[in-house]
Structure 1
Amino acid sequence: MFGYPILVFDIETVTDVKAGSQLYGLDLPLDDAQQALNKLRRQEAGTEFPRTPLHEIVCISGLWIDQDKFQLFSWSRENFSEIEILQKFVGIFEKKSPILVSWNGGQFDLPVIMYRCLYHGVTAANLFEQGDWNPQKRHNNYQNRYHARHTDLMDVLASFNIRNFQKLDDVAQILGYPGKRGLSGYHVADYVKQQQWLDLSCYCEGDVLNTWLIYLRWLLLRGFIQQAQHQDWIRHTILYLQQQPQHAEFLEIWQKTCLSTVFTQSDFN
Protein backbone atom coordinates (compact mmCIF):
# COMPACT_ATOMS: atom_id res chain seq x y z
CA MET A 1 0.00 0.00 0.00
CA PHE A 2 2.74 2.46 0.96
CA GLY A 3 5.27 1.50 -1.69
CA TYR A 4 8.20 1.55 0.73
CA PRO A 5 8.89 0.31 4.25
CA ILE A 6 8.01 2.88 6.91
CA LEU A 7 10.06 3.73 9.98
CA VAL A 8 8.40 5.89 12.63
CA PHE A 9 11.06 6.92 15.13
CA ASP A 10 11.89 9.03 18.17
CA ILE A 11 14.97 9.65 20.31
CA GLU A 12 15.51 10.43 23.99
CA THR A 13 18.50 12.39 25.22
CA VAL A 14 20.27 13.75 28.26
CA THR A 15 22.88 16.49 28.54
CA ASP A 16 26.37 15.43 27.48
CA VAL A 17 28.07 16.72 30.62
CA LYS A 18 31.54 15.75 29.42
CA ALA A 19 31.25 17.70 26.16
CA GLY A 20 29.56 20.60 27.93
CA SER A 21 32.31 20.78 30.54
CA GLN A 22 34.89 20.80 27.76
CA LEU A 23 33.03 23.58 25.93
CA TYR A 24 32.66 25.84 28.98
CA GLY A 25 35.97 24.95 30.66
CA LEU A 26 34.36 23.36 33.72
CA ASP A 27 36.38 21.17 36.10
CA LEU A 28 33.66 19.96 38.45
CA PRO A 29 32.19 16.67 39.72
CA LEU A 30 29.44 15.26 37.50
CA ASP A 31 26.42 16.54 39.45
CA ASP A 32 27.96 19.98 39.99
CA ALA A 33 28.86 20.21 36.29
CA GLN A 34 25.28 19.32 35.35
CA GLN A 35 23.92 22.08 37.58
CA ALA A 36 26.44 24.56 36.20
CA LEU A 37 25.50 23.69 32.62
CA ASN A 38 21.81 24.09 33.45
CA LYS A 39 22.50 27.53 34.94
CA LEU A 40 24.60 28.61 31.96
CA ARG A 41 21.88 27.45 29.57
CA ARG A 42 19.18 29.35 31.48
CA GLN A 43 21.31 32.47 31.20
CA GLU A 44 21.80 31.92 27.47
CA ALA A 45 18.28 30.96 26.41
CA GLY A 46 15.92 31.01 29.40
CA THR A 47 15.66 27.20 29.35
CA GLU A 48 17.72 24.25 30.55
CA PHE A 49 17.16 22.41 27.27
CA PRO A 50 20.70 21.89 25.92
CA ARG A 51 22.08 23.19 22.65
CA THR A 52 21.78 20.62 19.86
CA PRO A 53 25.43 19.42 19.96
CA LEU A 54 25.21 18.83 23.72
CA HIS A 55 22.50 16.17 23.60
CA GLU A 56 23.61 12.61 24.35
CA ILE A 57 21.32 9.88 22.99
CA VAL A 58 20.14 7.36 25.56
CA CYS A 59 17.38 5.67 23.55
CA ILE A 60 16.12 5.36 19.99
CA SER A 61 12.74 3.72 19.49
CA GLY A 62 10.98 2.90 16.28
CA LEU A 63 8.03 1.22 14.62
CA TRP A 64 8.92 -0.72 11.49
CA ILE A 65 6.10 -1.32 9.01
CA ASP A 66 6.67 -3.46 5.94
CA GLN A 67 4.66 -6.00 3.99
CA ASP A 68 5.30 -8.76 6.52
CA LYS A 69 6.37 -6.80 9.61
CA PHE A 70 4.80 -4.51 12.16
CA GLN A 71 7.25 -4.24 15.02
CA LEU A 72 8.16 -1.84 17.82
CA PHE A 73 11.79 -1.79 18.93
CA SER A 74 14.04 0.17 21.27
CA TRP A 75 17.79 0.45 21.65
CA SER A 76 18.72 2.00 24.99
CA ARG A 77 21.80 2.49 27.11
CA GLU A 78 20.74 -0.52 29.15
CA ASN A 79 22.38 -2.80 26.59
CA PHE A 80 24.20 -0.53 24.14
CA SER A 81 26.65 2.35 24.20
CA GLU A 82 25.66 5.52 22.40
CA ILE A 83 27.91 4.70 19.45
CA GLU A 84 26.31 1.23 19.17
CA ILE A 85 22.83 2.77 19.18
CA LEU A 86 23.87 5.13 16.40
CA GLN A 87 25.45 2.35 14.37
CA LYS A 88 22.29 0.27 14.64
CA PHE A 89 20.08 3.16 13.58
CA VAL A 90 22.14 4.38 10.63
CA GLY A 91 22.70 0.74 9.60
CA ILE A 92 19.01 0.54 8.71
CA PHE A 93 19.59 3.02 5.90
CA GLU A 94 22.51 1.07 4.49
CA LYS A 95 20.16 -1.88 3.91
CA LYS A 96 16.79 -0.17 3.29
CA SER A 97 15.43 3.20 2.21
CA PRO A 98 12.31 3.52 4.35
CA ILE A 99 9.94 6.42 4.50
CA LEU A 100 10.97 8.12 7.72
CA VAL A 101 8.23 9.53 9.94
CA SER A 102 8.79 11.70 13.00
CA TRP A 103 7.46 14.50 15.13
CA ASN A 104 10.00 17.33 15.07
CA GLY A 105 12.57 14.97 13.58
CA GLY A 106 13.78 17.52 11.06
CA GLN A 107 14.31 20.21 13.69
CA PHE A 108 15.64 18.02 16.50
CA ASP A 109 16.12 14.25 16.12
CA LEU A 110 18.08 14.14 12.86
CA PRO A 111 20.31 17.13 13.75
CA VAL A 112 21.13 15.50 17.10
CA ILE A 113 21.88 12.19 15.37
CA MET A 114 24.11 14.03 12.90
CA TYR A 115 26.08 15.76 15.67
CA ARG A 116 26.45 12.53 17.64
CA CYS A 117 27.66 10.69 14.54
CA LEU A 118 30.20 13.49 14.05
CA TYR A 119 31.23 13.21 17.71
CA HIS A 120 31.78 9.45 17.54
CA GLY A 121 33.11 9.32 13.97
CA VAL A 122 30.18 7.25 12.70
CA THR A 123 29.57 7.15 8.94
CA ALA A 124 25.92 7.59 7.92
CA ALA A 125 26.25 8.04 4.16
CA ASN A 126 22.74 7.04 3.07
CA LEU A 127 20.92 8.80 5.89
CA PHE A 128 22.61 12.12 5.16
CA GLU A 129 23.04 11.80 1.37
CA GLN A 130 21.81 14.95 -0.38
CA GLY A 131 22.49 14.08 -4.00
CA ASP A 132 26.21 14.82 -4.16
CA TRP A 133 27.05 11.19 -4.93
CA ASN A 134 23.62 9.94 -5.98
CA PRO A 135 21.80 12.48 -8.22
CA GLN A 136 18.50 10.63 -7.69
CA LYS A 137 18.56 11.78 -4.07
CA ARG A 138 19.06 15.46 -4.84
CA HIS A 139 15.37 16.15 -4.33
CA ASN A 140 14.40 12.95 -2.50
CA ASN A 141 16.45 12.67 0.67
CA TYR A 142 15.95 12.64 4.41
CA GLN A 143 16.96 16.29 4.89
CA ASN A 144 14.55 17.80 2.35
CA ARG A 145 11.60 19.05 4.38
CA TYR A 146 9.24 19.36 1.41
CA HIS A 147 9.31 15.74 0.23
CA ALA A 148 7.91 12.56 1.72
CA ARG A 149 11.16 10.62 2.17
CA HIS A 150 11.15 12.09 5.68
CA THR A 151 7.73 13.21 6.87
CA ASP A 152 8.20 15.44 9.90
CA LEU A 153 4.57 15.68 10.96
CA MET A 154 5.10 18.70 13.20
CA ASP A 155 6.56 20.59 10.26
CA VAL A 156 4.05 19.34 7.70
CA LEU A 157 0.96 20.03 9.82
CA ALA A 158 2.29 23.53 10.52
CA SER A 159 2.56 24.17 6.76
CA PHE A 160 6.31 24.56 7.37
CA ASN A 161 5.68 27.69 9.46
CA ILE A 162 7.32 27.80 12.89
CA ARG A 163 4.49 29.95 14.25
CA ASN A 164 2.13 26.99 13.74
CA PHE A 165 4.27 24.34 15.47
CA GLN A 166 2.34 22.23 17.98
CA LYS A 167 3.33 19.72 20.66
CA LEU A 168 2.90 16.02 19.91
CA ASP A 169 1.04 15.56 23.19
CA ASP A 170 -1.49 18.27 22.38
CA VAL A 171 -2.25 17.07 18.85
CA ALA A 172 -2.52 13.43 19.94
CA GLN A 173 -5.02 14.29 22.68
CA ILE A 174 -7.07 16.56 20.40
CA LEU A 175 -7.36 13.69 17.89
CA GLY A 176 -8.48 11.18 20.52
CA TYR A 177 -5.17 9.40 21.21
CA PRO A 178 -3.36 8.84 24.55
CA GLY A 179 -0.62 11.44 24.22
CA LYS A 180 2.14 11.35 26.82
CA ARG A 181 -0.22 10.20 29.61
CA GLY A 182 1.00 12.81 32.10
CA LEU A 183 4.68 12.06 31.45
CA SER A 184 7.23 14.42 29.95
CA GLY A 185 10.78 14.47 28.68
CA TYR A 186 11.91 15.86 32.03
CA HIS A 187 11.69 12.30 33.39
CA VAL A 188 14.32 10.96 30.98
CA ALA A 189 17.37 11.96 33.04
CA ASP A 190 15.80 10.37 36.13
CA TYR A 191 15.05 7.17 34.22
CA VAL A 192 18.70 6.96 33.18
CA LYS A 193 20.06 7.88 36.61
CA GLN A 194 17.85 5.27 38.30
CA GLN A 195 18.37 2.74 35.49
CA GLN A 196 14.63 2.48 34.82
CA TRP A 197 15.24 1.25 31.29
CA LEU A 198 11.80 -0.25 30.69
CA ASP A 199 10.17 3.05 31.70
CA LEU A 200 12.52 4.89 29.35
CA SER A 201 11.82 2.64 26.36
CA CYS A 202 8.06 2.64 27.03
CA TYR A 203 8.05 6.43 27.14
CA CYS A 204 9.97 6.67 23.87
CA GLU A 205 7.80 4.00 22.21
CA GLY A 206 4.72 5.88 23.40
CA ASP A 207 5.83 8.90 21.39
CA VAL A 208 6.40 6.62 18.41
CA LEU A 209 2.90 5.18 18.72
CA ASN A 210 1.25 8.60 18.96
CA THR A 211 3.23 9.72 15.92
CA TRP A 212 2.14 6.60 14.01
CA LEU A 213 -1.53 7.19 14.81
CA ILE A 214 -1.31 10.83 13.70
CA TYR A 215 0.52 9.71 10.55
CA LEU A 216 -2.35 7.36 9.70
CA ARG A 217 -4.74 10.30 10.00
CA TRP A 218 -2.41 12.35 7.78
CA LEU A 219 -2.47 9.60 5.14
CA LEU A 220 -6.27 9.61 5.31
CA LEU A 221 -6.36 13.40 4.97
CA ARG A 222 -4.18 13.24 1.87
CA GLY A 223 -6.23 10.43 0.32
CA PHE A 224 -3.32 7.98 0.36
CA ILE A 225 -5.54 5.55 2.29
CA GLN A 226 -9.31 5.28 2.53
CA GLN A 227 -11.37 5.12 5.74
CA ALA A 228 -11.68 1.32 5.59
CA GLN A 229 -7.90 1.00 5.29
CA HIS A 230 -7.45 3.46 8.14
CA GLN A 231 -9.69 1.38 10.38
CA ASP A 232 -7.85 -1.79 9.36
CA TRP A 233 -4.57 -0.24 10.46
CA ILE A 234 -6.12 0.96 13.74
CA ARG A 235 -7.36 -2.58 14.46
CA HIS A 236 -3.99 -4.04 13.47
CA THR A 237 -2.23 -1.64 15.84
CA ILE A 238 -4.58 -2.49 18.72
CA LEU A 239 -4.16 -6.25 18.17
CA TYR A 240 -0.39 -5.84 18.10
CA LEU A 241 -0.33 -3.79 21.31
CA GLN A 242 -2.52 -6.35 23.06
CA GLN A 243 0.48 -8.69 22.73
CA GLN A 244 2.84 -6.09 24.26
CA PRO A 245 2.31 -6.10 28.07
CA GLN A 246 4.48 -3.01 28.56
CA HIS A 247 1.92 -0.98 26.62
CA ALA A 248 -1.18 -2.10 28.52
CA GLU A 249 -1.50 1.41 30.00
CA PHE A 250 -1.30 3.00 26.55
CA LEU A 251 -4.16 0.78 25.37
CA GLU A 252 -6.21 1.40 28.50
CA ILE A 253 -5.94 5.17 28.13
CA TRP A 254 -6.58 4.97 24.38
CA GLN A 255 -9.88 3.19 25.11
CA LYS A 256 -10.91 6.26 27.13
CA THR A 257 -9.46 9.04 24.97
CA CYS A 258 -10.96 7.60 21.78
CA LEU A 259 -14.41 8.42 23.17
CA SER A 260 -13.58 12.14 23.06
CA THR A 261 -14.12 12.48 19.28
CA VAL A 262 -16.80 11.13 16.97
CA PHE A 263 -14.23 9.83 14.50
CA THR A 264 -12.31 7.72 17.05
CA GLN A 265 -15.27 6.43 19.07
CA SER A 266 -15.34 3.19 17.09
CA ASP A 267 -11.59 2.44 17.41
CA PHE A 268 -12.19 -0.42 19.88
CA ASN A 269 -15.52 -1.69 18.52
Structure 2
Amino acid sequence: MNTLVFDIETVPDTDGARRLLDLGNELTDGEVAELMFQRRRQATGGSDFLRHHLHRVVAISVVLRDGADTLKVRSLGEPGDDEATLIDQFFRGIDHYHPTLVSWNGGGFDLPVLHYRGLLHGIQAPSYWDTGDQYSEHRFNNYLGRFHWRHTDLMDALAGYQPRAGAPLDEIATLMGFPGKMGMDGSKVWPAFQGGDIDGIRAYCETDVLNTWLVYLGFQHFTGQLDDAMLAQEQERLATLLAEDGRPHLREFLDAWRGEG
Protein backbone atom coordinates (compact mmCIF):
# COMPACT_ATOMS: atom_id res chain seq x y z
CA MET A 1 0.00 0.00 0.00
CA ASN A 2 1.28 3.46 -0.89
CA THR A 3 1.25 6.10 1.84
CA LEU A 4 1.03 9.85 1.25
CA VAL A 5 1.58 12.17 4.20
CA PHE A 6 0.45 15.69 3.37
CA ASP A 7 0.24 19.19 4.76
CA ILE A 8 -0.85 22.52 3.29
CA GLU A 9 0.06 26.13 3.95
CA THR A 10 -2.43 28.90 3.28
CA VAL A 11 -2.80 32.67 3.14
CA PRO A 12 -5.95 34.85 3.15
CA ASP A 13 -7.86 34.75 -0.14
CA THR A 14 -7.79 38.51 -0.65
CA ASP A 15 -9.17 38.30 -4.19
CA GLY A 16 -12.14 36.32 -2.92
CA ALA A 17 -12.69 38.81 -0.11
CA ARG A 18 -12.75 41.65 -2.61
CA ARG A 19 -15.62 39.92 -4.40
CA LEU A 20 -17.51 38.96 -1.26
CA LEU A 21 -17.18 42.39 0.34
CA ASP A 22 -17.40 44.38 -2.89
CA LEU A 23 -14.13 46.14 -2.11
CA GLY A 24 -12.86 46.88 -5.58
CA ASN A 25 -9.12 47.29 -6.09
CA GLU A 26 -8.44 50.36 -3.95
CA LEU A 27 -7.03 48.42 -0.99
CA THR A 28 -3.76 46.50 -0.98
CA ASP A 29 -3.69 42.77 -0.26
CA GLY A 30 -2.35 43.53 3.20
CA GLU A 31 -5.19 45.95 3.90
CA VAL A 32 -7.80 43.49 2.64
CA ALA A 33 -6.32 40.72 4.79
CA GLU A 34 -6.38 42.95 7.86
CA LEU A 35 -10.04 43.73 7.18
CA MET A 36 -10.71 39.98 6.93
CA PHE A 37 -8.96 39.38 10.25
CA GLN A 38 -10.87 42.23 11.92
CA ARG A 39 -14.24 40.92 10.73
CA ARG A 40 -13.33 37.42 11.91
CA ARG A 41 -12.30 38.69 15.34
CA GLN A 42 -15.62 40.49 15.64
CA ALA A 43 -17.52 37.35 14.66
CA THR A 44 -15.66 35.02 17.03
CA GLY A 45 -14.96 37.32 19.95
CA GLY A 46 -11.21 37.25 19.48
CA SER A 47 -9.92 34.63 17.04
CA ASP A 48 -8.83 35.86 13.62
CA PHE A 49 -8.47 32.37 12.14
CA LEU A 50 -10.36 32.58 8.86
CA ARG A 51 -13.09 30.20 7.78
CA HIS A 52 -11.93 27.35 5.56
CA HIS A 53 -13.19 28.70 2.24
CA LEU A 54 -11.31 31.97 2.71
CA HIS A 55 -7.87 30.32 2.79
CA ARG A 56 -5.78 30.25 -0.39
CA VAL A 57 -3.36 27.33 -0.71
CA VAL A 58 0.23 28.39 -1.40
CA ALA A 59 2.08 25.15 -0.59
CA ILE A 60 1.32 21.43 -0.43
CA SER A 61 4.11 19.19 0.81
CA VAL A 62 4.14 15.41 0.94
CA VAL A 63 6.08 12.40 2.08
CA LEU A 64 5.46 9.52 -0.32
CA ARG A 65 6.26 5.96 0.73
CA ASP A 66 5.36 3.58 -2.07
CA GLY A 67 5.25 -0.18 -2.28
CA ALA A 68 8.58 -0.32 -4.09
CA ASP A 69 10.45 0.82 -0.95
CA THR A 70 10.75 4.35 -2.31
CA LEU A 71 10.63 7.29 0.10
CA LYS A 72 10.36 10.90 -1.09
CA VAL A 73 9.74 14.28 0.49
CA ARG A 74 8.80 17.21 -1.73
CA SER A 75 6.49 20.12 -2.30
CA LEU A 76 4.10 19.86 -5.19
CA GLY A 77 4.59 22.03 -8.25
CA GLU A 78 7.08 24.86 -8.55
CA PRO A 79 7.37 27.96 -6.33
CA GLY A 80 5.64 30.13 -8.93
CA ASP A 81 2.70 27.80 -9.59
CA ASP A 82 -0.80 29.02 -8.84
CA GLU A 83 -3.22 27.46 -6.38
CA ALA A 84 -5.16 25.52 -9.00
CA THR A 85 -1.99 23.78 -10.22
CA LEU A 86 -0.99 22.70 -6.72
CA ILE A 87 -4.43 21.32 -5.85
CA ASP A 88 -4.78 19.59 -9.21
CA GLN A 89 -1.41 17.85 -8.68
CA PHE A 90 -2.50 16.71 -5.21
CA PHE A 91 -5.68 15.04 -6.43
CA ARG A 92 -3.97 13.65 -9.53
CA GLY A 93 -1.47 12.01 -7.19
CA ILE A 94 -4.34 10.32 -5.38
CA ASP A 95 -5.76 9.13 -8.70
CA HIS A 96 -2.35 7.71 -9.64
CA TYR A 97 -1.11 6.15 -6.38
CA HIS A 98 -4.40 5.35 -4.57
CA PRO A 99 -2.52 5.93 -1.32
CA THR A 100 -3.42 5.88 2.31
CA LEU A 101 -3.54 9.57 3.20
CA VAL A 102 -1.97 10.62 6.49
CA SER A 103 -2.31 14.03 8.11
CA TRP A 104 -2.36 15.91 11.37
CA ASN A 105 -5.79 17.56 11.64
CA GLY A 106 -6.29 17.03 7.91
CA GLY A 107 -9.93 16.17 8.49
CA GLY A 108 -10.47 19.37 10.44
CA PHE A 109 -8.57 21.77 8.22
CA ASP A 110 -6.48 20.66 5.23
CA LEU A 111 -9.04 18.54 3.40
CA PRO A 112 -12.01 20.90 3.85
CA VAL A 113 -9.84 23.73 2.48
CA LEU A 114 -8.83 21.55 -0.47
CA HIS A 115 -12.49 20.66 -1.05
CA TYR A 116 -13.61 24.28 -1.24
CA ARG A 117 -10.64 25.46 -3.28
CA GLY A 118 -10.80 22.50 -5.66
CA LEU A 119 -14.47 23.23 -6.24
CA LEU A 120 -13.72 26.89 -6.96
CA HIS A 121 -11.08 25.94 -9.55
CA GLY A 122 -13.16 23.29 -11.31
CA ILE A 123 -10.77 20.46 -10.42
CA GLN A 124 -11.80 16.81 -10.78
CA ALA A 125 -10.90 14.17 -8.17
CA PRO A 126 -12.91 11.00 -8.93
CA SER A 127 -10.77 8.56 -6.94
CA TYR A 128 -10.77 10.79 -3.88
CA TRP A 129 -14.54 11.17 -3.79
CA ASP A 130 -15.33 7.55 -4.62
CA THR A 131 -17.25 5.68 -1.91
CA GLY A 132 -17.63 2.36 -3.72
CA ASP A 133 -19.10 3.16 -7.12
CA GLN A 134 -15.71 3.06 -8.85
CA TYR A 135 -13.77 0.79 -6.50
CA SER A 136 -15.83 -1.64 -4.44
CA GLU A 137 -13.25 -1.72 -1.63
CA HIS A 138 -13.89 1.99 -1.03
CA ARG A 139 -17.38 1.22 0.23
CA PHE A 140 -16.01 0.35 3.63
CA ASN A 141 -12.69 2.22 3.56
CA ASN A 142 -12.70 5.55 1.75
CA TYR A 143 -11.16 8.99 2.14
CA LEU A 144 -14.36 10.58 3.42
CA GLY A 145 -15.20 8.25 6.32
CA ARG A 146 -14.02 9.74 9.60
CA PHE A 147 -13.52 6.32 11.17
CA HIS A 148 -11.93 4.76 8.09
CA TRP A 149 -8.17 4.35 7.73
CA ARG A 150 -7.84 5.36 4.08
CA HIS A 151 -7.35 8.86 5.43
CA THR A 152 -5.65 8.59 8.80
CA ASP A 153 -5.96 11.89 10.65
CA LEU A 154 -3.47 11.23 13.40
CA MET A 155 -4.63 14.05 15.64
CA ASP A 156 -8.24 12.90 15.45
CA ALA A 157 -7.41 9.22 15.98
CA LEU A 158 -5.01 9.78 18.89
CA ALA A 159 -7.56 12.06 20.56
CA GLY A 160 -10.10 9.24 20.42
CA TYR A 161 -12.18 11.45 18.10
CA GLN A 162 -12.81 13.82 21.02
CA PRO A 163 -12.31 17.49 19.99
CA ARG A 164 -11.25 18.53 23.49
CA ALA A 165 -8.42 15.98 23.48
CA GLY A 166 -6.65 17.27 20.34
CA ALA A 167 -2.98 18.23 20.58
CA PRO A 168 -0.59 20.27 18.41
CA LEU A 169 1.71 18.33 16.10
CA ASP A 170 4.69 20.38 17.26
CA GLU A 171 4.23 19.33 20.88
CA ILE A 172 3.63 15.64 20.16
CA ALA A 173 6.60 15.49 17.78
CA THR A 174 8.85 17.22 20.31
CA LEU A 175 7.71 14.93 23.14
CA MET A 176 8.58 11.94 20.93
CA GLY A 177 12.11 13.27 20.34
CA PHE A 178 11.54 14.70 16.84
CA PRO A 179 12.41 18.26 15.78
CA GLY A 180 8.96 19.85 15.84
CA LYS A 181 8.77 23.45 14.58
CA MET A 182 12.01 24.85 13.20
CA GLY A 183 12.03 28.63 12.85
CA MET A 184 8.59 29.13 11.28
CA ASP A 185 5.05 28.40 12.33
CA GLY A 186 1.63 28.94 10.82
CA SER A 187 1.37 32.51 12.15
CA LYS A 188 4.43 33.51 10.13
CA VAL A 189 3.25 32.16 6.76
CA TRP A 190 1.29 35.27 5.74
CA PRO A 191 4.14 37.70 6.55
CA ALA A 192 6.58 35.37 4.76
CA PHE A 193 4.29 35.24 1.73
CA GLN A 194 3.98 39.02 1.67
CA GLY A 195 7.77 39.17 1.74
CA GLY A 196 8.04 36.82 -1.24
CA ASP A 197 9.55 33.92 0.72
CA ILE A 198 7.61 31.10 -0.91
CA ASP A 199 10.70 28.88 -0.75
CA GLY A 200 10.79 29.32 3.02
CA ILE A 201 7.10 28.44 3.26
CA ARG A 202 7.61 25.29 1.19
CA ALA A 203 10.59 24.27 3.32
CA TYR A 204 8.56 24.79 6.49
CA CYS A 205 5.71 22.72 5.08
CA GLU A 206 8.14 19.91 4.27
CA THR A 207 9.45 19.80 7.84
CA ASP A 208 5.85 19.55 9.05
CA VAL A 209 5.20 16.48 6.89
CA LEU A 210 8.47 14.96 8.10
CA ASN A 211 7.32 15.35 11.71
CA THR A 212 3.97 13.84 10.74
CA TRP A 213 5.66 10.90 9.02
CA LEU A 214 7.78 10.15 12.08
CA VAL A 215 4.74 10.34 14.37
CA TYR A 216 2.88 8.07 11.95
CA LEU A 217 5.67 5.49 12.12
CA GLY A 218 5.32 5.58 15.90
CA PHE A 219 1.55 5.17 15.50
CA GLN A 220 2.05 2.16 13.23
CA HIS A 221 4.31 0.65 15.88
CA PHE A 222 1.72 1.46 18.58
CA THR A 223 -1.02 -0.31 16.59
CA GLY A 224 1.12 -3.34 15.77
CA GLN A 225 1.64 -2.66 12.08
CA LEU A 226 5.41 -2.30 12.61
CA ASP A 227 7.55 -4.30 15.00
CA ASP A 228 10.68 -2.86 16.64
CA ALA A 229 12.97 -3.87 13.79
CA MET A 230 10.63 -2.54 11.12
CA LEU A 231 10.26 0.79 12.93
CA ALA A 232 14.04 1.18 13.19
CA GLN A 233 14.39 0.30 9.50
CA GLU A 234 11.85 2.94 8.43
CA GLN A 235 13.46 5.59 10.63
CA GLU A 236 16.87 4.77 9.19
CA ARG A 237 15.44 4.93 5.68
CA LEU A 238 14.31 8.49 6.40
CA ALA A 239 17.63 9.47 7.97
CA THR A 240 19.45 8.23 4.87
CA LEU A 241 17.14 10.21 2.60
CA LEU A 242 17.66 13.40 4.59
CA ALA A 243 21.45 12.94 4.62
CA GLU A 244 21.64 12.33 0.88
CA ASP A 245 19.09 14.89 -0.34
CA GLY A 246 21.32 17.95 -0.14
CA ARG A 247 18.70 20.59 0.65
CA PRO A 248 19.77 22.61 3.73
CA HIS A 249 16.44 22.52 5.58
CA LEU A 250 16.35 18.72 5.37
CA ARG A 251 19.89 18.49 6.71
CA GLU A 252 18.90 20.85 9.53
CA PHE A 253 15.93 18.62 10.31
CA LEU A 254 18.19 15.56 10.46
CA ASP A 255 20.70 17.33 12.70
CA ALA A 256 17.93 18.46 15.05
CA TRP A 257 16.52 14.92 15.12
CA ARG A 258 19.91 13.48 15.96
CA GLY A 259 20.65 16.21 18.49
CA GLU A 260 23.48 17.63 16.41
CA GLY A 261 21.90 21.02 15.66
Q: TM-score if structure 2 supplies the norm length?
A: 0.92
Per-residue CA distance 1:57-88 (angstroms, 9 max, x = gap): 00000011112411111026623111111111
Aligned residue identity for 2:5: V
Q: 2:253 aligns with which of 242, 250, 267?
A: 250
1:133: Cα distance to partner?
A: 5.1
C-alpha distance in structure 2 between counterparts of 1:257 and 1:131, whole Å = 48
Distance change in 2, residues 1:211/1:257 (3 Å): farther
C-alpha distance in structure 2 between counterparts of 1:52 and 1:167, whole Å = 19
1:190: Cα distance to partner?
A: 2.2
Partner of 1:52: 52
Aligned residue identity for 1:237: L
Partner secondary structure for residue 242 of structure 1: helix
Distance change in 2, residues 1:93/1:76 (3 Å): closer
Partner of 1:29: 27
* Stretch deviating more after TM superposition (17-26 or 66-75): 17-26
Say whether the 8 Å CA contact 1:76–1:201 is kept in structure 2: no
Partner of 1:208: 209
Q: Which runs of 5+ in 2 are unaligned?
A: none
Aligned residue identity for 2:27: P
C-alpha distance in structure 1 between counterparts of 2:38 and 2:214, whole Å = 37
Pair 1:10 & 2:27 matched: no
C-alpha distance in structure 2 between counterparts of 1:214 and 1:68, whole Å = 19
Question: Alpha carbon RMSD of aligned pairs, Å?
Answer: 1.8
Aligned residue identity for 2:48: E
Say whether the 8 Å CA contact 2:3–2:102 is kept in structure 1: yes
Number of equivalent positions: 255
C-alpha distance in structure 1 between counterparts of 2:74 and 2:257, whole Å = 20
Say whether the 8 Å CA contact 1:78–1:195 is kept in structure 2: no
Aligned residue identity for 1:90: F
1:193: Cα distance to partner?
A: 1.9
Partner of 1:81: 82
1:132: Cα distance to partner?
A: 5.0
Per-residue CA distance 1:102-125 (angstroms, 9 max, x = gap): 001111111100100111111111
C-alpha distance in structure 2 between counterparts of 1:24 and 1:197, whole Å = 27
Percent pairwise identity: 36
C-alpha distance in structure 1 between counterparts of 2:181 and 2:208, whole Å = 7
Partner secondary structure for residue 180 of structure 2: coil
Partner of 2:229: 228
Say whether the 8 Å CA contact 1:12–1:60 is kept in structure 2: yes
Partner secondary structure for residue 58 of structure 1: strand
Q: TM-score if structure 1 supplies the norm length?
A: 0.90
Partner secondary structure for residue 127 of structure 1: helix
Q: Which runs of 5+ in 1 are unaligned?
A: 259-269
Partner of 2:146: 145
Distance change in 2, residues 1:25/1:59 (3 Å): same
